[in-house]
């Protein structure tokens, strides 16, 4: 079940055709009992989705169905810690779980943690962004890039590759998220440490890179001018900042961009099983999926266009992620990272 990122499959996700069905009623799978879902009245959603997008999704679902969304939002690793702690205590707190950690989602699927579910639109999600049995489905695609203050970093001085970041001229200018808090960064660190060696991260430490918890803190640091270059950060934040008028420039590294799906799963044994399926089905509906490119991110559906001004994934060099190996090495990766930066 765990597998490499399929470059061609994810490329198709951003090479979408026509955004359709936006004015139609929400499409739910036939095995969603909406009467029971509305009777349950609530769905509890644990998610690492950026907070503004999460709130938009929750409000839209509530408006369309009348079912209340109880939202718990944090970084991907923090979400998983809470979820695992509750499971260990014999409690299922979440009805629906959305993270950015396909490795962990594959392991949980193998353990039977999720309810297999193939809602309407399942066929519009590329194979690399979903579990073939429906244990989880990609909610969105995350592009992990290098972005920076375009008004502070001259074009000639902008890094073009990951390895450029070790140049001493960038000392004190960079900021990066913590893989112990953010699942996306765990995939990046685990992969680049294998590809480039841990010496790459030691050189970043020598360059006085700042470590913060999540991608919102990275964005805020750049906007305040405390740091100028975001390293291995979620590009949708850069896109949102550009929409807000900030001069942020994205570099899609010549040696590869990360494209990582965000799995959404219906949790087995939860308190609101029908509302959970309704919400999971809604999550990949055209109405929900158009929210991501409108905010500068990437839909998981193959029939939804990339964000305005954004490249098609098929035009990028993509770094494959070995999720099976990543899950086995997750603790060691975090420990090695902490040894270098703390």
Domain count within the chain: 2
How many helices and strands, by DSSP H and E, does the chain display? Answer: 13, 10
* Spatial contact of 191 and 319, defined as CB atoms under 8 Å apart: yes
Q: Structure pTM?
A: 0.85
In a shared domain, residues 74 and 87: yes
| pLDDT tens-digit series, residues 256-292 | 999 999 999 999 999 999 999 999 999 999 999 999 9
Residue 206 has pLDDT above 90, yes or no: yes
State the pLDDT at residue 31: 77
Of 77 and 334, the structure prediction assigns the larger pLDDT to 334
Residue 53: inside a domain, yes or no?
yes
Q: Is 195 found in the same domain as 68?
A: no
Together in a domain, 182 and 298 = no
Mean pLDDT, the chain, whole residue set? 90
What pLDDT band is residue 314 in, cutting at 50, 70 and 90? confident
Q: Given the structure tokens 């962990």, which residue do they identify?
A: 104
- pLDDT attached to residue 342: 84
Do 273 and 252 belong to one domain? no
Share of the chain above pLDDT 90, in %: 84
C-alpha 274/C-alpha 119 separation (Å) is 12
Mean pLDDT computed over 71-77: 91
- Give the Cα-Cα-Cα angle 210, 334, 126 (nearest 5 degrees): 95
Per the structure, the complete domain to which residue 281 belongs is given by 7-140+262-308
**What would the mean pLDDT of 307-324 be, rounded to a whole number?**
91
Spatial separation of the C-alpha atoms in residues 299 and 281, rounded to whole Å: 15
* Same-domain status, 80 and 180: no
Residue 76: pLDDT band with limits 50, 70, 90: confident
135-156 pLDDT, tens digit per residue, is 999 999 999 999 999 999 999 9
Instruction: Tell me, yes or no, whether 102 and 51 share the same domain.
Output: yes
Give yes or no: residues 161 and 239 share one domain. yes
Per-residue b or e along 246-255, where b marks 16 or more CB atoms closer than 10 Å to that residue's CB? eebbbbbbee
Say which CATH number the domain at 285 has.
3.40.190.10
238 & 185 share domain: yes
- Is the domain of 152 the same as that of 289? no
Which pair of structure tokens corresponds to residue 43?
A: 């769905």
Same domain? For 214 and 329 the reply is yes
- Tracing tokens 């991110």 back to the chain, one arrives at 297
Residue 1 lies in a domain: no
DSSP readout, 206-242? HTT-EEESSHHHHHHHHHHTS-SEEEEEEHHHHHHHH
293 and 335 belong to one structural domain: no
Same-domain status, 134 and 149: no
Q: Average pLDDT in the 158-166 region?
A: 98
pLDDT tens readout for residues 89-139: 999 999 999 998 999 999 999 999 999 999 999 999 999 899 999 999 999
Residue 314 maps to a domain: no
Q: What is the pLDDT of residue 25?
A: 37
């Amino acid at each position: 079940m765990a597998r490499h990122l399929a470059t061609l499959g994810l490329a198709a996700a951003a090479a979408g055709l026509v955004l359709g069905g936006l004015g139609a009623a929400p499409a739910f799978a036939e095995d969603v009992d909406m009467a029971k879902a509305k009777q349950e009245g609530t769905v509890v959603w644990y998610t690492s989705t950026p907070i503004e997008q999460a709130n938009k999704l929750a409000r839209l679902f509530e408006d369309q169905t009348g079912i209340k969304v109880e939202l718990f939002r944090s970084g991907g690793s923090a979400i998983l810690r809470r979820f695992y702690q509750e499971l260990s205590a014999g409690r299922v707190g979440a009805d629906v779980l959305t993270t950015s950690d396909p490795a962990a989602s594959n392991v949980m699927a193998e353990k039977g943690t999720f309810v297999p579910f193939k809602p309407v639109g399942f066929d519009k999600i590329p194979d690399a962004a979903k579990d073939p049995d429906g244990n989880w489905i990609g909610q969105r695609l995350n592009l992990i890039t290098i972005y920076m203050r375009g008004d502070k970093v001259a074009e000639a001085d902008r890094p073009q590759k990951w390895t450029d970041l070790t140049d001493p001229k960038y000392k004190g200018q960079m900021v990066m998220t913590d893989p112990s808090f953010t699942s996306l960064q765990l995939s990046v660190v685990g992969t680049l440490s294998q590809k480039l060696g841990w010496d790459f991260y030691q050189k970043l430490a020598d360059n006085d890179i700042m470590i913060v918890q999540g991608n919102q803190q990275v964005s805020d640091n750049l906007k305040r001018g405390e740091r100028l270059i975001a390293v291995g950060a979620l590009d949708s934040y850069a896109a949102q900042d550009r929409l807000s008028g900030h001069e942020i420039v994205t570099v899609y590294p010549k040696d590869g961009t990360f494209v990582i799906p965000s799995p959404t799963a219906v949790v087995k044994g939860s308190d609101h099983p029908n509302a959970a399926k309704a919400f999971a089905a809604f999550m990949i509906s055209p109405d929900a999926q158009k929210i991501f490119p409108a905010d500068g991110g990437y839909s998981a559906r193959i029939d939804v266009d990339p964000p305005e001004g954004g490249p098609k994934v098929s035009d990028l060099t993509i770094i494959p992620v070995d999720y099976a190996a990543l899950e086995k090495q997750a603790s060691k990766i975090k420990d090695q990272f902490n040894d270098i930066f703390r």
